[in-house]
């Protein structure tokens, strides 16, 4: 037998641990080299773990839902094994007792105990709490011992009339917590408890951080999108033929934002202790929705990008977000962000600043509205802009004038060509 270890890939310096999602193979299955065995979720991205060698999956060391760190062994591959061979007894091992199992694995979690126990200490307490006896629950531990996971599974499947046992106290911040394996039966008012993903927990943490550490104000304006729409219509076919991608609104918003940030550099700055850190570059974060939550990949050096560069990169980010393929590097940094709630039909919103940035632009749905021009009521395609800013370093004057500069650039796109 020749064993090759499968390890957790390297995580970024800011990521201490990750959560195992669902194994795509089981012990005894044949695997090919580079075949994806499992995905591991950090608080920023989801990483794929490929097989380092072909062979047979001999053992799963860390099960679904386990909390792991970089370089930790999570499985073993027998490069000389035959598919269907019996797996070692340790194969179904779940997450360490300190980490909470994912819902689907709640019934299979295994905790430690002495060999002489009929039921392990934690399991014994849960049995007593739910008026169960050892004989009421099938044991999956060594020598048929009843584990905590066995009791939780029995409770969730209705072995007792009492409500499911509460999960142990969650670890701080980004730890997942145990959840009921099925919805609570409350007649016509059902409930279901599910754990936050690491990404969702991280989003929640950063939003609270932003609101508690920034002095957030929001300024609003409206922009007539007719000039941009006319320009897109005029050049769309030629642009698509030349660059292989359609020109959208977002590239205009990015260009307009960079135009304003050059005029008012403090909007592109950030707070660092008691200092204001002015950035001599323009890295624009683009908020993108994904199945696992909101992510903000970065357009690096956006001031040096063409309209085509921006559109291609945004399309790439959108696909990667959908597939869960965005890298940590693609979402790290940024000096200013843009959030486009208009894609979902939003009329107006107050976006929250993405730390450590000091401002964010919110754009919304473009709708025909009645406006007054030269004393006459006319119909124009209008978009409401909202810019939230950190009032600690950005005064109202800079914020308002910065948003006006964006408005003027969008209402007269030729300004972007001449930087005026």
Q: At what angle do helices 148-156 and 121-129 cross, to 10 degrees?
A: 30
DSSP code at position 179 = -
Q: Does 136 participate in catalysis according to the annotation?
A: no
HSE-CB at 255 with a 13 A cutoff on CA atoms is 27
Q: Match 């890298």 to its residue by tokens.
A: 327
Selecting among 129, 136, 303, 391, the annotated active-site residue is 391
Dihedral class, residue 212 (left if φ above 0, else alpha if ψ from -120 to 50, else beta): alpha
Q: How far apart are CA 340 and CA 322, in angstroms?
A: 17
Sequence-separated (6 or more) residues with CB below 8 Å from residue 365: 341, 342, 345, 346, 347, 383
CA-only gyration radius of the chain, Å: 27
Q: How far apart are CA 263 and CA 255, in angstroms?
A: 13
Q: Are strands 67-68 and 18-20 parallel, antiparallel or unpaired?
A: antiparallel
Selecting among 71, 395, 412, 419, the annotated active-site residue is 395
Q: Does 395 participate in catalysis according to the annotation?
A: yes
Q: Which residues are catalytic?
A: 391, 395
């Amino acid at each position: 037998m020749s064993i090759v270890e499968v390890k957790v890939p390297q995580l970024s310096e800011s990521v201490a641990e990750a959560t195992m999602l669902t194994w795509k193979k089981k012990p005894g299955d044949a695997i090919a080299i580079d075949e994806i065995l499992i995905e591991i979720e950090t608080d920023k991205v989801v990483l794929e773990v490929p097989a380092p060698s072909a062979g047979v999956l001999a053992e799963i060391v860390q099960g679904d839902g386990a909390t792991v760190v970089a370089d930790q062994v999570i499985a073993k591959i027998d490069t000389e094994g035959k598919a269907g061979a019996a797996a070692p007894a340790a194969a179904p091992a779940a997450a360490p007792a300190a980490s909470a199992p994912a819902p689907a694995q709640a019934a299979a979690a295994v905790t430690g105990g002495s060999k002489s126990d009929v039921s392990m200490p934690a399991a014994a307490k849960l049995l007593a709490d739910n008026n169960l006896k050892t004989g009421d629950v099938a044991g999956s531990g060594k020598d048929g011992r009843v584990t905590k996971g066995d009791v939780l599974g029995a409770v969730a499947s209705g072995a007792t009339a009492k409500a499911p046992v509460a999960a142990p106290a969650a670890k701080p911040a980004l730890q997942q917590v145990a959840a009921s394996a099925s919805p609570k039966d409350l007649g016509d008012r059902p409930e279901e408890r599910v754990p936050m993903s690491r990404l969702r927990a991280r989003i929640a943490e950063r939003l609270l951080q932003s609101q508690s550490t920034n002095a957030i104000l929001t300024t609003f304006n409206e922009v007539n999108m007719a000039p941009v729409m006319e320009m897109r219509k005029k050049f769309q076919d030629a642009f698509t033929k030349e660059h292989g991608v359609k020109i959208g609104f977002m590239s205009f918003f990015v260009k307009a934002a960079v135009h304003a940030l050059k005029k008012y550099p403090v909007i592109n700055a950030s707070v660092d202790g008691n200092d204001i850190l002015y950035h001599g570059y323009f890295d624009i974060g683009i908020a993108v929705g994904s199945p696992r939550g909101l992510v903000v990949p970065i357009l690096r050096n956006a001031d040096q990008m063409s309209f085509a560069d921006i559109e291609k990169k945004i399309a790439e980010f959108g696909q990667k977000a959908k597939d869960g393929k965005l890298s940590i590097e693609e979402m790290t940094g940024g000096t200013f962000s843009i959030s486009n709630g208009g894609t979902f039909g939003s009329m107006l919103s107050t976006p929250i600043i993405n730390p450590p940035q000091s401002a964010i632009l919110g754009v919304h749905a473009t709708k025909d509205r009645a406006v007054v021009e030269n004393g006459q009521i006319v119909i124009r395609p209008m978009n409401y802009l909202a810019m939230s800013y950190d009032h600690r370093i950005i005064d109202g004057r800079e914020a308002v004038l910065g948003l006006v500069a964006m408005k003027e650039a969008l209402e007269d796109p030729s300004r972007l060509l001449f930087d005026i």
